[in-house]
Structure 1
Amino acid sequence: ENFILGTTMANLGYLQSKSYGFTVAQYSEYDNARLQRSAPHAWLVESTFEDLYYGFYCYEAEDVAIVDNVYRNNVVYGIDPHDYSSRLLIANNEVYGTREKHGIIISREVNNSWIVGNRSYDNGLSGIVLDRQSSNNVVANNVSYDNQGDGIGLYESPDNLLWGNRLMNNLRNGIRVRNSSNVNVYHNVAVLNGTWGIYGQLKDLSATDRNFKEDFYSYEVSMNVVGGELASNASGPLSTDNPAYIAIYDVGMRFPRSDVGIHFEGVLGKYQMQIFDALRNQGRAVFIEPKAVVSGQVTQAEN
């Protein structure tokens, strides 16, 4: 158990397992079988973490609260809960200036957690990331801006809810959903991002060094996009590679930066006029479920 309040930690950590700076970690498998200790947990409240190798790292932790802290100018990650941790609350933190990678990331089956009310900006890659089968999480009312990657990225992480987040002026996408299914994107605002407001991406990872037994994933994208605004993003409001399905309702799409105006690509581009007519003129929802793909072209769909 660790309880941190009103503390400043700086200039700690190095590249060695569980020695990253401030770490909440489980024992080794051998020691844990012998000691039979419960999972570690911690509260970190109203504290500052600066120039740590990782601002925060945990492994097989439960019931961790990271609330009202400042994470600034850390090296690799700001906040990085990892490996089979659950029931985390990451709330009302300010995370900025992470030099190499993401401001906030949860990775490898970090489940049933809440990332709410944080500000993540000026980070080396993305503001907030869910990675490697992290599921059943709520990411709500965060502000992610001026990052060198995406505002929010979901990588191989199905069954998550993004609600009421504001993603502004990120170098890449406002929201990227990669190889992740059943993602609910409700009432988010993505404006002035460098590519798409929301991007659904299929990516084959077979050429990487990933351990597919430990880090399995499904080559599939599906999402519900409801409410919110996708405005003035450089490539357009919304794009997705061939999805299992995509549902869209009551989404604002204004102020295009492209010379061709507001436009879609891929599956959505094929039905662009019908989509706009249903959304804008009829006030109806749109549901697209491609039935078959031949040489990258959708041959039949329902909407």
Structure 2
Amino acid sequence: MRFSKLVLPMLSVGVAAAQKCSNGFPGIEKSGACCVSDCGTCGGSGCSSRESGLTGDDCCTKNILKQGAPCSATGHAPCFLDGDSTPSKSTPTESDGFVYEGCFNDKPEPDRLFSYVTTMDDMTTELCANECKGYAFFGLQWGREAGCGTCGGTGCSQRPGLTDSDCCIGKIEESGPLCSVTGKAPCFVDGDSSAPEQTSPVPSPTPKTSPSSTPRSATPTPPTPVPSGCDTKATVQIDKDTAYFKSGGCATLTDLYNAQDGTGPLWVLDSNDNKVDGAGGSAKPTGRWLLTSNIKIEDDATLFVEGKDRGGDCDVLRIESTGSKYWEIFGHGGNMYFEGTKVTSWDTSKGKEREYKKNEGRSFIRCITQYDDNYSCSGGSNKDMGTCRMDIIDSTMGNMGYDASESYGLTWKVRGLCKNLSNLKLFDKRNVYGDIKNSDIYGMYYGMYSYGHEGGVWTNNKMHDNVQYGFDPHDDSDNLVIAHNVVYNNGNHGIIASKRCNNVEIYDNEVYGGGQAGIFLHRSSDNAKVYDNYIHDNDDAGIAFLESFDADIYDNRIVNCKYGIRLSLGSGDNDITNNTFDNISKYGLYTYKGSDSPDVSNGRPKGNKFEGNTVSNTKIGVLGKEGDDNIFKNNVFTNVDTFEFEKSKDTEWTGNSLGGGCLDRGKDFTKGSDTIPDC
């Protein structure tokens, strides 16, 4: 249902309307914090008694953690004009018609404070602040139904078990997504399922101070989900070895089949994947198909590939792929929607899916947004083809792709980035989109690959037995959610976010059996949250960083890996807290410079905090090499031999339980650090 949202700030503050901080909020910028313009006392009497020794004088100085959070929640100095650090609950009156929804924080979502925390009836803003430590925006939220029209248009009545009468009851999943996406009933006041209104996004969290490759402006709002029905049919045109879907509208494989002349390129198969009599045009479709040409979707047309139990015409699609011939499905400014189906390569000479062989091609699927920004450079685009979206829902995708650009198996990409990165603002103008949910992906060259992807939700999938990576969001793929997946037996990293992939959230995944790291944040993939993952039996680190910053890594369990966590090449200002590392073969906690050339730092890991972690059954509990100002606090080590600090400066070491370990090398600790007995 569409709701009217009421999001309450943590405390009311007085501000001068004429002044704004860099994050867009009214106030004065002080050392990276946004203070109210007229600064009064420091949140009441609580600040002066904090361990950090804060007083009212700290109100507008570097000790501020964020505007609006009480001292009791943060241990830092907020600024409130009223001097009251314990506000009362501000609940809308019943006459307003609002319903209390809970305490929320700022996980990325285009129209609301997103993450459900708790719906305690006695919730106050201070309790909500405690629940939401570490987030830039949070508050209590109430909703009010705006009034229900028809149920998302005509599409809902065609879904299993849903009718228009379901519009405003519990079967609704959320406002906005259409029936074909969720299988549940959305609610639009205007009764139009083709164009739900887009609301303004919640502002992005203000980042901590860290190196930055290139500043980004606000990301564009993603397009509406693929429609559940179309007013028009796409134009189908067959030209030599390519079938085109053009001129907007929607189409299915049956539309292609009906447009051909009896000689393919789409063939009807029986249950044993053999062609039936009249397979090229006269046979009755069975829901199983063989494709022997390329398909190209352009002009904002949409190809639906859906299983018969979802109201579609495709339970299985085999794409011919032999040593000499292989084909692609190519969305080039068009869209693809896969639901309840299976799509694989198919070696027609052997009657089975084609497994990867080095130096040989295989069939693949790609979704390409192409934008001409009139920028002259090597790698730039000279065409404007439009935006592509590809969704994979409740489907199986197997044995596709090889080692060539855009041909990795499942690829989402924005074309047009200059090789010298001089036009990174390209990604503020155009993105590529799509979700992967409840699907089984295997045997790809890369399990999936994206470049310029915005806001993907990749959840509840099996991602396994791929030649290289599992999930591989690359250059400027931002605001992704990668959660509840089982990622295993991939040849390289299980999950890697590489090159300016910001605000990625990775949680509740099991990642194991990989040839490299379980989870890797690479090259300015900043402001990530990685938590509640079980990572085990990988050949490299459980979690790895390379020149990435401002991540929160917490509540992960890492077992039987070469390194517990490793931070290299200047990675800084990362918080690694409350994780468990067990049976690590080399180093539990590891920082080092490495041999790569830095882009945005001096290469020395700096300002990282390791706090409250448990490291057990590891010979070298900590190897801190070539780092500066790193903090190790209140960690528990069990059955470790040594701690080593080599070419590191100003390491803080306090409150750690040594578990019998001794200091093998390194003496450069900050004043006040605890001593470690020498070996």
Q: Do both proteins adopt the same fold according to a TM-score greater than 0.5, normalized to the shorter chain?
A: yes
Gap change, CA 1:299 and 1:250, over 3 Å in 2: closer
Q: Of residues 615, 635, 651 in structure 2, which corresponds to 1:230?
A: 615
- What CA distance in whole angstroms lies between the structure 2 residues aligned with 1:85 and 1:97? 24
Gap change, CA 1:37 and 1:143, over 3 Å in 2: same
Gap change, CA 1:279 and 1:271, over 3 Å in 2: farther
Q: How does 1:33-182 map to 2 (within 5 A)?
A: 38-99=430-491, 101-170=492-561, 172-179=562-569, 180-182=571-573
Q: Of residues 618, 637, 645 in structure 2, which corresponds to 1:266?
A: 645
Q: How does 1:218-297 map to 2 (within 5 A)?
A: 218-222=602-606, 223-233=608-618, 235-256=619-640, 261=641, 263-266=642-645, 275=653, 278-280=655-657
Give a deviation string over 1:247-290, Cα, whole Å, max 9, x none.
2222111122xxxx3x2112699999x957x4349xxxxxxxxx
Residue of structure 2 in register with 1:6 after alignment: 394
For the residue of structure 2 that corresponds to 1:232, the secondary structure is strand
User: Structure 2 counterpart of 1:238, which letter?
Assistant: V
User: Structure 2 counterpart of 1:226, which letter?
Assistant: E
For the residue of structure 1 that corresponds to 2:479, the secondary structure is coil
Is the 8 Å Cα contact of residues 504 and 528 (structure 2) preserved in structure 1? yes
Is the 8 Å Cα contact of residues 438 and 460 (structure 2) preserved in structure 1? yes
Residue of structure 1 in register with 2:413 after alignment: 25
Residue of structure 1 in register with 2:579 after alignment: 188
- What CA distance in whole angstroms lies between the structure 2 residues aligned with 1:105 and 1:236? 26
Is the 8 Å Cα contact of residues 633 and 653 (structure 2) preserved in structure 1? no
Is the 8 Å Cα contact of residues 523 and 546 (structure 2) preserved in structure 1? yes
- What CA distance in whole angstroms lies between the structure 1 residues aligned with 2:580 and 2:555? 7
TM-score, length-scaled by structure 2: 0.37
Is the 8 Å Cα contact of residues 475 and 499 (structure 2) preserved in structure 1? yes
Gap change, CA 1:238 and 1:11, over 3 Å in 2: same
Give a deviation string over 1:17-73, Cα, whole Å, max 9, x none.
11111111113359xx99x97311111000010100000100011001110000110
- What CA distance in whole angstroms lies between the structure 1 residues aligned with 2:668 and 2:583? 34
Is the 8 Å Cα contact of residues 10 and 49 (structure 1) preserved in structure 2? yes
Gap change, CA 1:29 and 1:265, over 3 Å in 2: closer
Is the 8 Å Cα contact of residues 533 and 557 (structure 2) preserved in structure 1? yes
- What CA distance in whole angstroms lies between the structure 2 residues aligned with 1:230 and 1:297? 20
Gap change, CA 1:269 and 1:62, over 3 Å in 2: closer
Give a deviation string over 1:117-138, Cα, whole Å, max 9, x none.
1111001111111111111110
User: Structure 2 counterpart of 1:126, which letter?
Assistant: A
Q: Cα distance, 1:236 vs. partner?
A: 2.0
Gap change, CA 1:271 and 1:39, over 3 Å in 2: closer
Give a deviation string over 1:132-176, Cα, whole Å, max 9, x none.
111111011111110011111001112211111111001x20100
Q: Cα distance, 1:217 vs. partner?
A: 4.0
- What CA distance in whole angstroms lies between the structure 2 residues aligned with 1:29 and 1:137? 23
User: Structure 2 counterpart of 1:224, which letter?
Assistant: K
For the residue of structure 2 that corresponds to 1:42, the secondary structure is coil
User: Structure 1 counterpart of 2:614, which letter?
Assistant: E
- What CA distance in whole angstroms lies between the structure 1 residues aligned with 2:573 and 2:649? 22
Q: Cα distance, 1:299 vs. partner?
A: 6.3
Gaps of 5+ in 1: 207-211, 282-295
For the residue of structure 1 that corresponds to 2:656, the secondary structure is helix
- What CA distance in whole angstroms lies between the structure 1 residues aligned with 2:471 and 2:636? 32
- What CA distance in whole angstroms lies between the structure 2 residues aligned with 1:37 and 1:84? 12
For the residue of structure 2 that corresponds to 1:139, the secondary structure is strand
TM-score, length-scaled by structure 1: 0.81
Q: Cα distance, 1:204 vs. partner?
A: 3.7
Q: Cα distance, 1:205 vs. partner?
A: 2.3
Is the 8 Å Cα contact of residues 131 and 155 (structure 1) preserved in structure 2? yes
Gap change, CA 1:248 and 1:64, over 3 Å in 2: same
For the residue of structure 2 that corresponds to 1:77, the secondary structure is coil
Greater strand share, 1 or 2? 1
Is the 8 Å Cα contact of residues 132 and 217 (structure 1) preserved in structure 2? no
For the residue of structure 1 that corresponds to 2:435, the secondary structure is strand
RMSD: 2.9
Give a deviation string over 1:76-107, Cα, whole Å, max 9, x none.
111100001110000011111112x1111110
Residue of structure 1 in register with 2:343 after alignment: none
Gap change, CA 1:173 and 1:267, over 3 Å in 2: same
Q: How many residues align?
A: 269
Percentage of identical aligned residues:
28
Q: Cα distance, 1:195 vs. partner?
A: 0.7
- What CA distance in whole angstroms lies between the structure 2 residues aligned with 1:229 and 1:49? 34
- What CA distance in whole angstroms lies between the structure 2 residues aligned with 1:297 and 1:169? 27
User: Structure 2 counterpart of 1:96, which letter?
Assistant: Y
Gap change, CA 1:204 and 1:53, over 3 Å in 2: closer
Q: Cα distance, 1:4 vs. partner?
A: 1.3
- What CA distance in whole angstroms lies between the structure 2 residues aligned with 1:197 and 1:134? 23
Residue of structure 1 in register with 2:593 after alignment: 202
